[in-house]
Amino acid sequence: MALLEVRDLSVVFQRRGERPFTAVDGVSFDVEPGQTVGLVGESGCGKSVTSLAIMGLLAKRGVKISGSAKFDGTELLSLSDRQMRDRRGRDLGMVFQDPLSSLNPVVSIGLQVTEVLERHRDMSRKQASVEAAELLEKVGIPDPKRRLSEYPHQLSGGMRQRALIAIALACRPRLLIADEPTTALDVTIQAQILALLADLVRDTETALIMITHDLGVVAGLCDEVNVLYAGRVVERAGRHDLFRVPRHPYTHGLLASIPRLDAPRGERLSPIKGSVSDNIPWTTGCAFAPRCPNALDTCVQVTPAMEPDPVVAGPRLLRCHNPVEPATAAEQEIMS
């Protein structure tokens, strides 16, 4: 059994006087212990809302969550606030994008780490502060004992993100959700943080859900990748399969539109036409159809289902009526 089983998860935001908005629309995926699963997509695709729903961090009012998210057999979505609080921090850790706004600005770093240890691991203050210094050292913060008494504003962006990771790891969670953990950081710092996360997953068998818009980050880190578009997973495959032969026109288009550092200069990018807001509802057809170069008439009439790839071997699921031919996908890969 998987560590986390998400089945048919939907999140609908309802505001009075406005039409309900479906941010996440029937998302299903599994996370095994020690596995890194990527959720990739552009802004508004529902990747962050998915993680917030799993962690029980969405507001109660105006939000309708349906489906199921089972962690180690326990249904997370039906837990009470108190039960969820026990889980969060102990079994489930989360790292957010902006470390400055996720750390409490008026509480010292040390206290923010020891708080978790005292709450979930029943440590005395003394024990906790020794453990906290070790944690900070483990995530690569120099001079950890002194850092404990400092405040978030005194740390640099990269150090803050490390502190946040230290807090998330304080109770050795079995599942860590990282929501764009490196987006606010510079590339050299990003490389440090990604290396840190990769080491942690390897050394501690922690399962990691990596939420990002950056396909480069995914390529280096994730075992399995879910590509989201307008609230639904449109393609799922292992990272090697996905990048070698992207089958969904959206995945293919994303890869073709990124300038690559190792690509020869002067080659034109092939962007996806339109913008993320040019969607049709999933109920009438494929949401990506208006922007899709492969769109057929059926695409705007029949909603495609998530099915195993009929052509390319391997454990791949695809939501598309007219996927990109593997030949052209591979050819373009070689050409680029």
Partner 1 sequence: MTELENPSSPLVEVVDMKVHFPIRRGVVLDKTVGYVYAVDGVDLSIRSGETYGLVGESGCGKSTLGRAMLKLTEPTAGRVVFDGIDLSSMKGEPLRTMRRRMQMVFQDPLSSLDPRQSVESLLVEGMRAHGLDKGKESSAKRLRELLLAVGLPSTSLRKYPHEFSGGQRQRIGIARALSVEPDLIVADEPVSALDVSVQAQVINLLEDLQTEFGLTYLVIAHDLAVVRHISDRVGVMYLGGLVEEADSDQLYREPLHPYTKALMSAVPVPDPLVEDRRERILLAGDLPSPANPPTGCRFHTRCPWRQETRCDTERPALREIDPGHRVACHYAEDIRAGRIRQHAVEAELVREDWDVVPDDASLAGPASVTETLGP
Binding-site member from 42, 72, 86, 137 for partner 1 (CB under 8 A): 42
Nearer to partner 1, 76 or 255 (CB): 255
Q: Read off the tokens for 299.
A: 């695409």
Contact 73, 87 (CB under 8 A): no
- Rounded Cα distance between 60 and 134, Å, is 37
Which among 234, 328, 247, 253 has a CA at the least distance from the CA of 291? 253
Q: Tell me the residue type at 56.
A: G
151 touching partner 1, by CB under 8 A? yes
Query: Minimum distance between the CB of residue 272 and partner 1, rounded to whole angstroms?
Result: 4
CA-wise closest residue to 89 among 59, 121, 60: 121
Instruction: Using DSSP bridges, classify how beta strands 36-40 and 175-179 pair: parallel, antiparallel or unpaired.
Output: unpaired
**Alpha-carbon distance values, 154 to 124, 146, 157, 170, 322 (Å):** 27, 12, 10, 21, 53
Rounded distance between C-alpha atoms, residue 260 and residue 240, angstroms: 17
To the nearest whole angstrom, how small is the minimum distance from the Cβ of residue 12 to partner 1? 23
Contact map string, positions 217 to 256, toward partner 1, x by CB under 8 A:
xxxx------------------xx--xx--------xxxx
* Sole window of 18-26, 29-37, 272-280, 301-309 interacting with partner 1 (rule: CB under 8 A): 272-280
Q: Is 149 an interacting residue with respect to partner 1 (CB under 8 A)?
A: yes
Query: Could you say which residues in the range 9-28 bind partner 1, by CB under 8 A?
Result: none
Q: How many residues bind partner 1 (CB under 8 A)?
A: 68
One-letter amino acid for residue 319 of the chain: R
Q: What is the DSSP letter of 139?
A: T
315 is a site residue for partner 1 (CB under 8 A) = no
Told to check if 202 binds partner 1 by CB under 8 A, we report no
Residue 84, H or E segment:
helix 81-87
Binding residue for partner 1, selected from 17, 73, 105, 259, defined by CB under 8 A: 259
Span from 3-11, 130-138, 191-199, 301-309 in contact with partner 1 (CB under 8 A): 191-199
Q: Which residues bind partner 1 (CB under 8 A)?
A: 42-43, 106-108, 110-111, 140, 142-143, 146, 148-151, 153-159, 186-192, 194-195, 213-220, 239-240, 243-244, 253-273, 275-277, 291
